[in-house]
Amino acid sequence: MPRCGIVGLPLCGKSTVFNVITRAGAEVKPYASGKTEPNRALVSVPDARFDRLVEIFEPRKATPATVEFVDLAGLSRDASKGAGLGNSFLSFASESDALLHVVRVFANPDVPHPEDTVDPLRDWRIVEMELIYRDLSVIENRLYRLSSKKKNTPEESAEVELLRKLQDHLIEESPLREYPLTDEQKKPLAGFAFLTLKPELVVLNLDEGQDVAPQAEPLEAELREKGLSSVRLFGSLEMDLAQLDIREQAEFMKDLAIEELGRDRLIHEAYRLLGLISFFTSGKDEVRAWTLRRGDSATNAAGVIHSDLARGFIRAQVVTYEDFINAGATLAACRDKGVLRLEGKDYLIKDGDMIEIRFNV
């Protein structure tokens, strides 16, 4: 199950953003809680194609794709040195596949700011620095252990050489994502779960009607330059909207002249950032969206459904969602139009493929 960890300074609105995404109702308050156990929730990925397939097949069961979101305790300055809830927080963050970094842009005088003033660019840098220091300490521990061995294997010597380079890079206060790593080099590094190698999406948490330009633009400019994505979100407002039913929500959005919820954009962007795609299986029993990594093959897809399907894989019957709809939304019509394909083991699954696995065990 892909997992997205929510990070940021204390009181920047992490639990608010978590509630917006998950509609879970986690506690949100204007003082630090000292809570270390993170809030977790599974979120269905909104997907209009999936909704349409459910309408067409009217299955007994409909199962959308899901991502787990984890709301962590606030990360203070010097957390990597053990300040605040520092290290326990950082170890939770390392279990995530991607980070959602929340930055406070809202003013709200009732909520104290750990750095006293609202300054999104500064705050983003403080947290980035903590992530960098955390990665540095992971490398230092590993180098220490390797150097205390009598003799290193050739693999270990190669590891030491690479880790030293990464260490220098981090000491320059640069995140590992900016270090040119080959795929070959990345593989053995996976076990370290480096925080600054994880994909990161920045959420600017602001108030509706707030003139954000002077506050948010320096950070947005910096993120553009670094190639990181960001999303603007009215945290408190969307959390309130998330409590309403669909019709009330639509009315409020009209009154406030809001065209699109940040929530859906945020979940889509997180899914894309995680490098994930969806494929569908559909029938009268169940319509289901399954999750794969971009670049996964037909046997990977079979294995996600059931290990037997991967073991006894013969062929995958594939039609793209668009072809299926354009052909008239039945498999027979797809067959007539010649858009139904039989693919082998190595076929790379595309986002939106509708699949049936032929197998024999």
Q: Return residues touching Mg ion (CB under 5 A).
A: 14-15
Q: Is there binding between residue 22 and ligand GTP (CB under 6 A)?
A: no
DSSP for residue 74 = P
Toward Mg ion, which CB reaches closer, 14 or 134?
A: 14
CA distance 235 to 207: 7
Q: Is there binding between residue 258 and ligand GTP (CB under 6 A)?
A: no
Place of tokens 């493929």: 353
In the bound complex, what is the minimum distance in angstroms from residue 360's beta carbon to ligand GTP?
Answer: 52
Q: Which phi-psi region, left, alpha or beta, contains residue 126 (left: φ > 0; alpha: ψ -120 to 50)?
A: alpha
Toward Mg ion, which CB reaches closer, 33 or 249?
A: 33
Which residue in 207, 240, 286, 351 binds ligand GTP (CB under 6 A)?
207
Q: Is there binding between residue 111 and ligand GTP (CB under 6 A)?
A: yes
Toward ligand GTP, which CB reaches closer, 96 or 281?
A: 96
In the bound complex, what is the minimum distance in angstroms from residue 102's beta carbon to ligand GTP?
Answer: 7
Cβ-closest position to ligand GTP: 74
Which residue in 63, 87, 88, 108 binds ligand GTP (CB under 6 A)?
108
CA distance 308 to 292: 18
Note whether 355 and 317 are within 8 A (CB): yes
CA distance 293 to 303: 13
Toward ligand GTP, which CB reaches closer, 25 or 59?
A: 25
Q: Is there binding between residue 12 and ligand GTP (CB under 6 A)?
A: yes
List the single partner that 195 binds among Mg ion, ligand GTP, none, CB under 5 to 8 Å by kind: none
Q: How far is CA 327 from CA 49, 50, 183, 324, 332, in A?
A: 15, 17, 40, 5, 9
CA distance 279 to 289: 6
What are the beta bridge partners of residue 316? Answer: 343, 357
Toward ligand GTP, which CB reaches closer, 33 or 44?
A: 33
CA distance 280 to 287: 7
Residues of this chain that interact with ligand GTP (CB under 6 A) are 8, 10-16, 28-30, 32-33, 73-74, 106, 108, 111, 205, 207, 235-236
